[in-house]
Amino acid sequence: MFHWFEQRPFFFAVLVFIFISFAGIIEIIPDFAKQARPTVGTKPYSILELTGRHVYIKDSCNACHSQMIRPFKSETDRYGMYSLSGEYAYDRPFLWGSKRTGPDLMRVGNYRTTDWHENHMMDPASVVPGSIMPAYPHHFTNLADVETAYGEALAVKNVFNTPYDVDLNGDGKFDVPLGTFEEASALALQEAKAIAADMKNQAVKDAVANGKIPEIVALIAYMNSLK
């Protein structure tokens, strides 16, 4: 039977395609809708947090840090409550990582502060002696790209109905406001000022005071949001 196929390239290719697509059809398609439900309390990222998430991605933090706490005592003791699928409902892309050269960061916002991150990103070994993490001084000088984050938030709001500008908890206010680009930028700057107030680096403080947002501020906003 196989010999028949080996002389007929078209049917051979069709048979190959059936063999390789089988797993995807059974595994991936049926579960899609079910997985996308957020857990109660899970909210989309604010613009500043999303901007910080882009910094995280730009410098491949996920190459060395996971965001996936497995259901083992040794992991929940170290990192906190194990991860739930719904907590990732608004993560596009997912950032679970595949290697822990450094520790998991799924709930790093629960146990690290703005101050800690500021020192750590400038010189990791000054906070964690023996650390092999690179220093990221360029995060203190490069400006964050709020506009791209706004474009992304607007796109996911329109295409996937991600709940920006929605009152989720029924208190009469939008949980995560987005609005126009001007409104969103103003809000991001307001958040940035709150973070810069806890920082020591004068150049960063000055930049924020002048309405600019260095990458480090956005990154710390994102880190602090991971809970």
Partner 1 sequence: MQNGAQIEYDYSIAKAFTFATILFGIIGMLVGVILAFQMAFPELNNLAGEYGTFSRLRPLHTNGVAFGFTLSGVFATWYYIGQRVLKVSLKESPFLMAIAKLHFVLYFITILLAVVTLLMGITTSKEYAELEWPIDILITVWWVLWGIGIFGLIGIRRERTLYISIWYFIASFLAVAMLHLFNSMAIPTGLLTGYGDWYHSVSMYAGSNDALVEWWYGHNAVGFVFTVPIIAMIYYFLPKESGQNVYSYKLSILAFWGTLFVYLWAGGHHLIYATVPDWMQTMGSVMSVILILPSWGSAINMLLTMKGEWQQLQSNTLIKFMILASTFYMLSTIEGPIQSIKSVNAIAHFTDWIPGHVHDGTLGWVVFMIMAALFHMAPRMYKRELYSKSLMDTQFWLQTTAIVLYFTSMWIAGITQGMMWRAYDEYGSLVYSFIDTVTVLQPYYTIRAVGGLMYLIGFFMFAYNMYKTATCGRVLDKEPTNATPVAA
Q: Closest Cα to residue 154, out of 189, 121, 183?
A: 183
- Name the minimum Å distance from CB 55 to partner 1: 9
Contact between 79 and 103 (Cβ < 8 Å): yes
- Name the minimum Å distance from CB 207 to partner 1: 17
- x-marked contacts with partner 1 along 57-86 as a string, rule CB under 8 A: xxxxxxxx-x-x-xxx-xx-xx----xxxx
The CA distance from 152 to 155, in Å, is 5
158 binds partner 1 (CB under 8 A): yes
Which amino acid is located at 71 in the chain? Answer: P
In the complex with partner 1, the residue whose CB is nearer, 134 or 197, is 134
In the complex with partner 1, the residue whose CB is nearer, 134 or 211, is 134
- Name the minimum Å distance from CB 180 to partner 1: 10
The CA distance from 94 to 89, in Å, is 9
CA 220 from centroid of its chain's CA atoms: 12
Contact region for partner 1 (CB under 8 A) — 154-162, 165-173, 194-202, 219-227? 154-162
Contact between 37 and 89 (Cβ < 8 Å): yes
- x-marked contacts with partner 1 along 81-100 as a string, rule CB under 8 A: --xxxxxxxxxxxxxxxxxx
